[in-house]
Amino acid sequence: MNSRRFLLLSGAALSSFAAVPAWAKRKKAAAKSAASGDEGGPGTATAAVSTPADTPVGPVDTVASHAIVIDFNTNAVLLTKDADTPSPPSSLTKLMTIYITFTQLKAGKLTLGQTFTISEHAWHMGGSRMFLQVGTQVTIEDLIRGVFVDSGNDAAVALAEGIAGSEDAFVAMMNAEAKKLGMNDSHFMDASGWPADGHVMSVRDIATLATHIIRDFPDYYHYAGEQTFTYNKITQQNRNPLVAAGLGDGLKTGHTEEGGYSEAGSTERNGRRIIVVLNGLPTWDSRVTESKRLMDWAFNTFQDVPVFAAGQIVSQAPVWLGQVPTVGLTVQGGLTVTLPNNWRDGVKIAVDYPAPIPAPVISGHKVGQISLSGTGIPPGQIITTDLVAAGDVPRLGLPGRAMARLKHFITGA
């Protein structure tokens, strides 16, 4: 009785739609502070070799060894390069420390004005610091600023100890949260990003974490974009060069000898937000230029396309044995996708559903799907979303069903 109703539309046709303490071990490595989370400034030049990254519009070169660019509004992946390979994340680790802190604040388990006592372990941290003093009481709000603006290893450890009782207990929380968020290519050994065997993150996982920080904690995200922070009469500028230059509103940077320079940056322009995560950059300068270049490329090459508005009827589907002959089909919440600027030239939109749809039909229930393919969609991928009924269609009573079957037997309709 049923067949599939399959409509294939071009983008142009749709254009009208819209044990030994850890710190003691670290002390032995204090001489390596410049290679253990200290962001520093423009460093020694290293030969930069650009190699291709994958994008929906063809290869784009970057000197980063690991890279991902994401459209925040649609979660569309615009560029990837070795994005799932675990590598040393240096101070980008602190994003998980911040994520857990924000989670506790949102749940009411902490307050911004609450204070933590600074331990010898936190005070002993090398690398980039907030310059905390042993035994002092510091507010959680100041420690958050110390992490974001100063990239303070001491601030990260102070938050970890204050929340979990010890850094080791906090690390267990970090790894548990990573699993909850689907960060399958990350493993934490400390709260600051200090180099340690087995301490790794992939840039895709970092982008996932950055997305959650921005989306889940709008009341706290502004700390990531503060230009300067003064603590104990010491003023430091935000170590994220995109923030310092007014080109981004967060999130973090990092650097170690093993991992190179890294950036997790985000900014919003005209209602669109882009997240860029880079790791393994050869120099401080390349971190600045690559972050800005790839962010500009993402904004200039792609657009968010409202293919269907919320509540818009995509198609009228016939209903079998229903009290009315048809039902409207729609995309619940609408459908907006990120596509190249020339998307109308190559994108195909397919609408697939059974025809007729058997009654009863329940509003909001899935009855088919819409898929997008072609130019601008990542190779080998198809974007799909559910097609749902826009209204209820009750089933005919017994006499009506009998008459409908008789009519179909006689006329085939």
Catalytic residues: 91, 94, 151
Helices (H), 117-152: 120-123, 140-148
DSSP assigned state of 36: B
d(CA 25, CA 327): 68
d(CA 238, CA 230): 11
Strand partners, 250: 266
Question: In a 3-state reduction of DSSP, which class is residue 193?
Answer: coil
Question: In a 3-state reduction of DSSP, which class is residue 292?
Answer: helix
The four Cα atoms 285, 208, 191, 252 give a dihedral, to 10 degrees, of 30
Could you tell me if 323 and 377 are in contact, meaning their C-beta atoms sit under 8 angstroms apart? no
Residues 6+ apart with CB under 8 A from 413: 407
DSSP assigned state of 394: P
The four Cα atoms 90, 153, 237, 149 give a dihedral, to 10 degrees, of 80
d(CA 211, CA 72): 7
d(CA 268, CA 247): 9
> 252 a known binding residue?
yes
Strand partners, 137: 117
CA 371 to chain CA mean position, Å: 23
d(CA 336, CA 302): 13
- Closest listed residue to residue 91, CA positions, set 40, 42, 138: 40
Residues within the annotated binding site for substrate? 252
Residues within the annotated binding site? 252
